[in-house]
């Protein structure tokens, strides 16, 4: 089986599949097709399938022309019929792994995808899970579903592995194509074949580890590391505010050290699909072993409470301007979870929105990247169409919650009654009389 699959990879006769055509799946499908493999994307959302088949891009990290060209040439297509997996030799599962209402892992998307693959699993097939999850998911949950539903045996009839996605939306330097790829598979043959497939598709180094669990834990570590350090600067930021010290200036000074320090920055909270969620996966799994991840949980508590802290600071700013937050008009600049992207998943700005409304404020937002939102917190909104001096002046407080670059911050400063800058977006503005930073 190994030699047959390696031959297919080298000859580009292997048919590749991707389950889930979101921020992870579509860029990966495009790269597989660009590498010369016939590629089929599968998704339950008909709108995504239709857009891909029409050559219409909806993901910022995909080049419009690349997608249109690949579809036109017949190298890339999409389908909502998972029966098409029967003709696929290599399938990557790239579906969401959110938290449920109790802040515990929701593996329903992975389970559903694994069952769809299992129904169409055939001998000589390769299955790779890319969705971020807790250690043991691939070797336990996914393997069990595949073997039970198909009657085939892992390692003998099909190969199974885990290769975590490392997508950073909006990153201009590192994309799917050139980011190092970790591969952990069940068995040496599976590891060799999966690594070979990624090596011909991607330009980044292929980092092979001993088991899928190691690869799963590596991904969790990457994001938990960031979560802890963000929690550290958020807590120090609160202390610096009480001490009358600029946390931003402190960080700028500390990062001049050429070794032993990496700069992280405070904000309204932590957003995106991975960093706010992955630590919960780890702490949940740790409890199975009677282990309490105290440091990790403390950082999660700090970051989770940051939107409330921002709302409280906003209330104090309004109070100093002799205005009550109840009935105050507040404008948020940005609801995307990071600058210059349209992704608002787990955005702390939306939680700030919710907290301000709970305090009685009349909240609006402007975001040139996110025209409207509807999210898990039960909040929805539509961006005001444009920023003008008159509009800025009409608000009692402007809060910068996302540091989009295409905002005229100089104009905002000149016309705002009061500004709360949680992203240090106005660091180069000379007149700061109406600006307070996080």
Q: Residue 33's pLDDT is what? A: 97
d(CA 348, CA 311): 11
Instruction: Provide the sign of the torsion angle of the four alpha carbons 290, 296, 302, 304, taken in this order.
Output: negative
User: Do the first three CATH levels of 2-210 and 244-437 match, i.e. the same topology?
Assistant: yes
d(CA 426, CA 36): 46
Q: What is the pTM of this model?
A: 0.90
Q: Provide the 10 A C-beta neighbour count for residue 394.
A: 13
d(CA 425, CA 210): 44
Q: pLDDT digit string (tens) for 35-65?
A: 999 999 999 999 999 999 999 999 988 999 9
Q: Is pLDDT of 346 > 90?
A: no
Higher-confidence position of 280 and 10: 10
What CATH fold (topology level) applies to the domain 2-210? Rossmann fold (3.40.50)
Tell me which DSSP letter residue 177 carries. T
Q: pLDDT digit string (tens) for 348-400?
A: 999 999 999 999 999 999 999 999 998 766 778 899 999 999 999 999 999 99
- Give me the catalytic one of 94, 154, 240, 274: 274
Q: Residue 102's pLDDT is what? A: 76
CA 177 to chain centre: 17
- Going by C-alpha positions, the residue among 408, 435, 405, 438 that lies closest to residue 423 is 438
Tell me which DSSP letter residue 169 carries. T
* DSSP string for residues in 109-160: HHHHHHHHHHHT--TTEEEEE-S---TTIIIIIIHHHHHHHH---BTTTEEE
Q: What dihedral angle (degrees, nearest 10) is formed by the CA atoms of 83, 87, 88, 94?
A: -20
| 94 labelled catalytic | no
d(CA 95, CA 121): 18
d(CA 329, CA 77): 48
Q: Residue 376's pLDDT is what? A: 61
Asked whether 326 and 314 are in contact (CB, 8 A), the reply is no
Q: How far is CA 387 from CA 38, 71, 326, 339, in A?
A: 46, 38, 24, 17
**Consecutive H or E run containing 200:** helix 188-201
Q: What dihedral angle (degrees, nearest 10) is formed by the CA atoms of 19, 23, 28, 34?
A: 120
Q: Residue 377's pLDDT is what? A: 64
**Consecutive H or E run containing 90:** strand 90-93
Mean pLDDT of the 317-326 span: 96
The CATH number fitting domain 244-437, selected from 3.40.50.720, 3.40.1190.20, 3.10.20.30, 3.20.20.80: 3.40.50.720
Q: Is pLDDT of 277 > 90?
A: no
Q: Report helix, strand and coil shares of the chain as percent, to nearest 5.
A: 40, 15, 45
Q: Is pLDDT of 88 > 90?
A: yes
Give the SS3 label for residue 161: strand
Domain range summary for the chain, segments of one domain joined by +: 2-210, 244-437
Helical axes 143-150 vs 108-119, angle rounded to 10°: 30
d(CA 79, CA 353): 37
* DSSP string for residues in 296-360: HHHHHHHHHTHHHHHHHHHHHHHHHTT--STT-EEEEE--SSSTT----TT-HHHHHHHHHHHTT
């Amino acid at each position: 089986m190994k030699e047959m699959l390696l031959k297919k990879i080298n000859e580009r006769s292997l048919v590749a599949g991707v389950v889930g055509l979101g921020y992870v799946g579509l860029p990966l499908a495009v790269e597989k097709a660009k590498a010369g493999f016939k590629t089929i994307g599968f998704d339950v959302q008909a709108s995504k399938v239709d857009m891909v088949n029409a050559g219409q891009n909806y993901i910022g990290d995909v080049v419009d022309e690349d997608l249109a060209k690949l579809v036109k040439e017949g190298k890339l297509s999409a389908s909502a019929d998972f029966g098409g997996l029967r003709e696929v030799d290599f399938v990557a599962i790239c579906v969401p792994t959110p938290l449920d209402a109790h802040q515990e892992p929701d593996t329903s998307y992975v389970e559903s995808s694994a069952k769809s693959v299992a129904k169409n699993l055939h001998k000589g097939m390769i299955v790779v899970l890319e969705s971020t999850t807790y250690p043991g998911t691939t070797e336990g949950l996914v393997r069990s579903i595949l073997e039970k539903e198909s009657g085939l045996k892992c390692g003998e009839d099909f190969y199974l592995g885990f290769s975590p996605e490392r997508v950073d939306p909006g990153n201009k330097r590192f994309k799917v194509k050139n980011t190092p790829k970790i591969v952990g598979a069940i068995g040496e043959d599976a590891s060799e074949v999966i690594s070979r497939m990624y090596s011909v598709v991607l330009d980044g180094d292929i980092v092979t580890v001993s088991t899928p669990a190691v690869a799963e834990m590596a991904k969790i570590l990457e994001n938990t590391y960031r979560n802890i350090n963000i929690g550290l600067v958020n807590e120090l930021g609160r202390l610096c505010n009480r001490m009358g010290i600029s946390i931003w200036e402190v960080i700028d000074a500390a990062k001049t050290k050429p070794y032993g320090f990496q700069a992280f920055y405070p904000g309204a909270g932590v957003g995106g699909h991975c960093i706010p969620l992955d630590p919960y996966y780890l702490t949940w799994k740790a409890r199975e072993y009677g282990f309490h991840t105290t440091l990790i949980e403390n950082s999660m508590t700090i970051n989770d409470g940051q939107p409330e802290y921002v709302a409280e600071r906003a209330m104090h700013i309004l109070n100093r301007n002799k205005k009550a937050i109840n009935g105050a008009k507040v404008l948020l600049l940005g609801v995307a979870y990071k600058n210059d992207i349209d992704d608002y998943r787990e955005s702390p700005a939306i939680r700030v929105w919710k907290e301000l409304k709970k305090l009685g404020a009349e909240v609006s937002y402007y975001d040139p990247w996110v025209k409207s939102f509807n999210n898990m917190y039960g909040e929805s909104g539509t961006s005001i169409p444009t920023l003008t001096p008159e509009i800025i002046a009409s608000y009692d407080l402007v809060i910068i919650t996302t540091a989009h670059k295409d905002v005229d911050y100089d104009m905002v400063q000149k016309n705002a009654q009061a500004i709360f800058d949680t992203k240090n977006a106005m660091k180069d503005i000379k007149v700061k009389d109406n600006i307070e930073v996080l």
